[in-house]
Amino acid sequence: MGLGFWMVVAGWPMQTPTQTALLDLAQLPMAGAVLVGIIEMTWARRLWLRSPKVFAGVFGPAGFALLLGLVLVVIAYGTPLRAYSGTGQLLIWIGVGLAFVYLAVDSLRREVTDPRTLLFEEIDADDTPEGSDHLVGSWDDEDWNEDIAETELDGTVDRS
C-alpha cells in the first residue's frame, strides 16, 4: 500500500513520462495488497472445500478477469497502446472485487449460521431434558446463588 501511495505522490505533477506512468500504475500495488488479504482469508477458511462449484463459479471468472487485466497492462506498457492500461486495471479491480464480495458473503453466512451463537429466549423446564439445570457445568459462576436462581427461573422473584 505504501508503494502505491508513494507512486501517487511521485507521479502527481505528471510532467514527465515516468511521472505519468507512476501515477497510472499506482493502483497495481494497492490491488496486490488487497489480493494478498483475499488469498490469505481464502486459504485460512479453506473456501474451496465448502462448496467447490460455487467457489469455482466465482473465483474462476475473478481469476480470469484479473489475469486478462494484467495481460492488458503489460501490453499497454510494452507497446505504444497505452489506452489498454485503464481497461486492464479495471479488469484487475473487477476480479479482486468479485473475490472480495464472495468473502464478505461468506463472512455473513458464517455469522448467521454459526451454531455457537447464543439464543436469547426464555426456556421452560420442559424445553430441555435437564430441566432448569441445563447450564450447570457449562457456565460455572462462583457468585451465582442457587436459591435466587430457582426463584428467578420460577418467576416468583420480585424485580421492582
Q: What is the mean pLDDT of the chain?
A: 77
Q: Which stretch of 7-21, 58-72, 87-101 has the lowest confidence by average pLDDT?
A: 7-21
> What are the residue boundaries of the structural domains of the chain, listed by start?
2-113, 118-160
Q: How far apart are CA 37 and CA 56, in angstroms?
A: 19
pLDDT at 110: 74
- pLDDT for 144 equals 53
Q: Give the whole-angstrom CA distance, residue 148 versus residue 89.
A: 65
Vertex 28 angle, CA 22 and 33, to 5°? 130
Are the C-beta atoms of residues 133 and 139 closer than 8 Å to each other?
no
Q: What pLDDT, on the 0 to 100 scale, is given for residue 94?
A: 96
Q: Give the predicted TM-score (pTM) of the model.
A: 0.62
